[in-house]
Structure 1
Amino acid sequence: MTLAHCPAPTTAERIRSTCVRAGGALLAVEQAEPLTTPLHHLVADGSFAVGAPLDAPLNDGAQAVLELADYAPLPLREPIRSLVWIRGGLHRVPQSSVRELLDLIAEEHPHPALLQVQTPNSGPVRPGDTRYLLARLEIESVVVTDATGAEAVDAAALLAAQPDPFCGFESCWIRHLDSAHRDVVARLAARLPARLRRGDVRPLGVDRYGMRLRVESADGDRDIRLPFHKPVDDVPGLSQAIRVLMGCPFVNGLRARGN
């Protein structure tokens, strides 16, 4: 639900942000139990680089689905904000190409899991080894689902999109807002219709286009977007946009009168 007309992140942008925020993901390979992977990265050629346990049954070209869950920063009744499913053929990366691909990923996202990927210099595999194989998931379809429904996106749209500028620290910021600035949440909640203010209002998310609130009530949960007057790209712009939403009288430079 949006209270006023304002652009929101595109579906491709939302997926790119989920890829940044998501920690471990599930990799379901045909005829095998789902695997947990700590590494999932969209590569410039339109495939996803993924890590898999050393004993994973990675038959070349096997059909697989990568599932990414976007969890709310706060402990809510329904914690998952959206799910992303990426389906395609899985191909093990040749050992001769692993190091080059790891370097490409590290330039964009130096994830600690990159250090656990098996390379030609990793040495022999031992019992209990926690290293990972590197594979590519050649995208055939991408679908995201949330409270509003499901939508498909193609690989070209994903490559053209960028993650939200605030997605890297969104979770920490939302938790701080909820724990230390309940007055701000209350003023944002005051923007909602009276029928929605009867529930428990919690901050759900923030992006360059606006704030999202979750209202948990006896008759169900609702997600509401409070749009900013215009999109913002940096922390000062975000701070000002939040003040505008709150109706802060000092947003344009006014100062409180001294005692």
Structure 2
Amino acid sequence: MSKLPTPAERLRSLIATAGSLTLHVPGGRCDLIGAHRVEAGRILLDRPDVVPLEPEVAAVLELTDIVPTPARTRVRARATFAGWLGECDGGTMALDLAEATLQDPAYGADSEISVDPDDFAAAAPDPLAELEADLLCHLDASHPGAIDRLARLIPPHHLHGVRRIVPVRLDRYGVVLRLEFAARARDVRLPFPTPLDKAEQAGERMQELYARARCCRGGH
């Protein structure tokens, strides 16, 4: 059973929750704040001023995903969407995707993964994507004891020298804790017993992790 979202699912989650995107077109660029959505695998934009008045324009959209909690290294992933931008009804523009790439250390430290446009169109955002930032910040700020309990699920030899533990990811497959050392950091994923299908199951899955942690002594 997978313990990670597919790259296509990850891209759909990123674009669904991004507050801003950077648009590059020939001769110009601009930042788009709250001006996009995804429908049927196409990225729809409110028409930016920098886009030339042409039937189709080559365009690239970029986004950077930031850890919502106060971790030492905040950039979590980068994504790029390239294709052709054309007019839709009502002054909206649509990017017909030609290629998409994902850079995310969860899939390999130096990996740049290419995602097929059809796979992107078929994928759905993670059920927790819209809630992830609030849930992680609440866990970090309001439940430090819970973080300590979850840390019992990590093998003790991974905890030697740890100065701080911060939750940095939450998706349908589990929660990721960042172990911060003096000069480095390591992310450890704690998988749910079974992936959740809807956001309402998040509390139940977290309680299952806490129950497992209560059975651990010294991290075993």
TM-score by length of 1: 0.72
Matched, 1:190 2:152: yes
Secondary structure of 1:33's counterpart equals strand
Letter in 2 for 1:191: L
Question: In the superposition, relative to structure 1, how do residues 219 and 196 fare at CA in structure 2: closer, same or farther (>3 Å)?
Answer: farther
1:165 counterpart (127, 135, 141): 127
Corresponding residue for residue 104 of structure 1: none
Matched, 1:29 2:51: no
Secondary structure of 1:247's counterpart equals helix
Letter in 2 for 1:16: R
Shift of residue 82 of structure 1?
Answer: 1.0
Highest Rg: 1 or 2?
1
Corresponding residue for residue 11 of structure 2: 15
For 1:58 and 1:136, locate their aligned partners in 2 and report how far apart those are by CA, in whole Å. 14
Corresponding residue for residue 218 of structure 2: none
Deviations 1:160-203, CA, capped at 9 Å, x for gaps = 11111111111111111111111111111222233432241101
Letter in 2 for 1:175: C
1:78 counterpart (65, 73, 77): 73
Letter in 2 for 1:56: V
- Using CA pairs under 8 Å that are at least 6 residues apart, name the structure with larger relative contact order, 1 or 2: 1
Paired residues of 1:38 and 1:51 also in contact (CA < 8 A)? no
Deviations 1:39-91, CA, capped at 9 Å, x for gaps = 222222x32111243x3232433321111222211122221211110011222
Moved segments of 4+, more than 4 Å = 248-251
Specify which structure has the higher proportion of strand.
2
Corresponding residue for residue 207 of structure 2: 243
Question: In the superposition, relative to structure 1, how do residues 6 and 137 fare at CA in structure 2: closer, same or farther (>3 Å)?
Answer: closer
Question: In the superposition, relative to structure 1, how do residues 235 and 153 fare at CA in structure 2: closer, same or farther (>3 Å)?
Answer: closer
Corresponding residue for residue 57 of structure 1: 51
Matched, 1:143 2:65: no
Deviations 1:123-164, CA, capped at 9 Å, x for gaps = xxxxxxxxxx52121211000101122211112111211111
For 1:43 and 1:52, locate their aligned partners in 2 and report how far apart those are by CA, in whole Å. 16
TM-score by length of 2: 0.84
For 1:37 and 1:180, locate their aligned partners in 2 and report how far apart those are by CA, in whole Å. 30
1:212 counterpart (170, 176, 187): 176
Question: In the superposition, relative to structure 1, how do residues 80 and 52 fare at CA in structure 2: closer, same or farther (>3 Å)?
Answer: farther
Task: Note the aligned Cα RMSD (angstroms).
Answer: 2.3
Corresponding residue for residue 180 of structure 1: 142
Question: In the superposition, relative to structure 1, how do residues 57 and 208 fare at CA in structure 2: closer, same or farther (>3 Å)?
Answer: closer
Paired residues of 1:35 and 1:52 also in contact (CA < 8 A)? no
Question: In the superposition, relative to structure 1, how do residues 91 and 203 fare at CA in structure 2: closer, same or farther (>3 Å)?
Answer: same
For 2:153 and 2:213, locate their aligned partners in 1 and report how far apart those are by CA, in whole Å. 16
Question: In the superposition, relative to structure 1, how do residues 161 and 218 fare at CA in structure 2: closer, same or farther (>3 Å)?
Answer: same
Query: 5+ residue gaps in structure 1?
Result: 99-132, 252-259
Secondary structure of 1:174's counterpart equals helix
Corresponding residue for residue 43 of structure 1: 39
